[in-house]
């Protein structure tokens, strides 16, 4: 049963091939078998075994009463950044290692309303800050394709769990590539929607103007099925856009003939690994067979994305994490001498090195005398990046290229060099800075490890992107390939 897609599980439940309790227990057994222990993947922080079985039983009763939706009784998992009422929500940090929210995030609420069954909360880089899932307080997540390699970050726990068939799909968040990058490195389909498409309410903030929730699944059809539920307007989120949510599954089989694909020369530099370049070109050739035409374009501000992002994002994280002080919630040091000692030791003990590094960078960039020189200038660059995309989408329907410079690297290989780690996001950051939708789809393997093709579309064009991905997956089998020994 674990090899079934979301869509197949939904149809199987409807047909009575199995019950929600049966398939939920099946996935829980797999989590207990493959995720924990010295050789486990460590993709989950919290396993909600008791609650999941209660919810599955309720789903079966709801289905028997004729009140089922497409999602009723379908198991999945949440990234541990979404607040869940009564369930530990840690954001991969010691700071929130005892935080149990009294409310649900809007995305969580949407999934509950449809009757989906959450199996637990997945591991992640601390406060979503990282590209390898090594900064989690709960330890590094392993890539199921090779346990010595990273799964990507920050949504690496979700990616590893779905790739290992421990869960059919999971939610993720993407601030600078944190859905697309782990999806690429684990052989999944992952989508970052247009900024404002999914509510951020109850999603613990890293960089508020960049964060966006999205689906991580094995196929474009499953991602569309997830986005149908995750996307919504939310009055509680001032950045949520009041725009109707289409049925993303309705246009999956539309014809691609006549669509124009833009290939930015900045995404195919001479320094790009030869095998990666060849794999990307082979994948794009499949789209040409489907009737698309290819056009070389330029996004001249691309090289400015990394410096701009690593000013804007740390500045916003510095402000967002200021609430984590050991007073109202979260980790508190023992026996503080006074308020200053409470703040210093609680934050010093509660945050990991990468989070501290980004808080310090952000605080510096926002300080008097440096705000105009760094933060304001980074925001101006952000506008230039957006303008590049606006101009490009006047000529093309999609922009494609690699998600990452290389396949997954070994755990610990780059953790001592933050700058080298930041370079892993060189092809994904500009999408977030511009607020555009972007996705990764499995496009092949290099040295036995999966790599992903990035598809970017114009604002609110998620349906067209999912259509392109689905048509590609009908003529290729990369999305069907699975790690050995699972």
CA 197 to each of CA 105, 108, 147, 213, 387: distance values in angstroms, whole numbers, following the listed order? 15, 15, 34, 8, 21
Answer yes or no: 337 catalytic. no
Of the candidates 10, 43, 48, 79, the residue annotated as catalytic is 79
State in Å, rounded, how far the first CA of the chain is from the last one: 12
Whose tokens are 């099925």? That residue is: 225
Whose tokens are 């400015």? That residue is: 304
**Dist CA 178 CA 172 (whole Å):** 8
Cis peptide bond prior to 154, omega within 30° of 0: yes
**Dist CA 181 CA 309 (whole Å):** 16
For the beta sheet containing 398-402, the strands, ordered from the edge strand earlier in sequence to the opposite edge, are 44-47, 117-122, 75-79, 169-173, 213-217, 189-192, 438-446, 449-457, 398-402, 260-264, 293-297
DSSP 372: I
Q: Are 259 and 227 in contact (CB under 8 A)?
A: no
Answer yes or no: 136 catalytic. no
Number of CB atoms found within 10 A of residue 180's CB: 35
Of the candidates 20, 48, 93, 154, the residue annotated as catalytic is 154
Which structure tokens are listed for 228? 């149908």
**Dist CA 244 CA 476 (whole Å):** 32
Of the candidates 20, 131, 178, 430, the residue annotated as catalytic is 178
DSSP 438: E
Q: Are 303 and 384 in contact (CB under 8 A)?
A: no
E strand spans, 144-230: 169-173, 189-192, 213-217
**Dist CA 182 CA 354 (whole Å):** 18
Sign of the alpha-carbon dihedral angle for 162, 168, 173, 175 = positive
Answer yes or no: 346 catalytic. no
Which structure tokens are listed for 282? 């082979």
* Residues with catalytic function: 79, 154, 178
């Amino acid at each position: 049963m674990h090899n079934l897609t979301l869509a197949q599980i939904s149809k199987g439940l409807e047909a009575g091939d199995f019950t929600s309790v049966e398939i939920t227990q099946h996935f829980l057994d797999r989590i207990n078998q493959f995720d924990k222990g010295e050789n486990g993947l460590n993709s989950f922080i919290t396993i909600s075994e008791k609650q999941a079985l209660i919810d599955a039983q309720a789903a079966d009763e709801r289905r028997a009463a004729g009140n089922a939706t497409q999602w009723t009784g379908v198991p999945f998992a949440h990234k541990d950044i979404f607040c869940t009422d009564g369930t530990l929500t840690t954001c991969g940090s010691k700071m929130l290692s005892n935080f149990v929210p009294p409310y649900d995030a809007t995305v969580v609420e949407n999934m509950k309303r449809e009757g989906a069954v959450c199996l637990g909360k997945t591991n992640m880089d601390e406060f979503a800050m990282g590209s390898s899932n090594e900064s989690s307080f709960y330890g590094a997540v392993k890539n199921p394709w090779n346990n010595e390699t990273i799964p990507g970050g920050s949504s690496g726990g979700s990616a590893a769990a779905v790739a290992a068939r421990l869960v059919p799909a999971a939610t993720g968040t993407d601030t600078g590539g944190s859905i697309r990058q782990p999806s690429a490195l684990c052989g999944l389909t992952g989508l970052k929607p247009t900024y404002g498409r999914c509510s951020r309410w109850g999603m613990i903030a890293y960089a508020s103007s960049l964060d966006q929730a999205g689906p991580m699944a094995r196929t474009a059809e499953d991602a569309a099925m997830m986005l149908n539920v995750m996307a919504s307007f939310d009055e509680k989120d001032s950045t949520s856009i009041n725009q109707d949510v289409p049925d993303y599954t309705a246009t999956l089989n539309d014809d691609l003939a006549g669509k124009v694909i833009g290939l930015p020369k900045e995404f195919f530099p001479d320094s790009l690994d030869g095998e990666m370049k060849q794999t990307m070109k082979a994948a794009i050739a499949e789209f040409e067979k489907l009737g698309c035409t290819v056009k070389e374009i330029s996004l001249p501000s691309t090289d400015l994305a990394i410096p701009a992002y690593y000013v804007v994002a740390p500045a916003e994280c510095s402000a967002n994490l200021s609430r984590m002080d050991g007073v109202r919630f979260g980790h508190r040091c023992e026996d503080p001498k006074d308020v200053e000692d409470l703040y210093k030791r609680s934050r010093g003990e509660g945050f990991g090195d990468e989070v501290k590094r980004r808080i310090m960078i952000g605080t510096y960039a926002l300080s008097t005398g440096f705000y105009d020189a760094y933060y304001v200038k980074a925001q101006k660059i952000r506008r230039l990046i957006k303008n590049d995309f606006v101009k490009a989408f006047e000529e093309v329907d999609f922009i494609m290229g690699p998600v990452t410079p290389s396949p997954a690297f070994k755990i610990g290989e780059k953790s001592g060099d933050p700058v080298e780690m930041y370079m892993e996001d060189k092809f994904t950051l500009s999408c977030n800075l511009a607020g555009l939708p972007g996705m990764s789809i499995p496009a092949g393997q290099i040295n036995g490890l999966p790599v992903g093709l990035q598809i970017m579309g114009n604002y609110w064009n998620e349906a067209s992107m999912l259509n392109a991905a689905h048509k590609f997956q009908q003529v290729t089998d990369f999305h069907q390939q699975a790690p050995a020994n699972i």
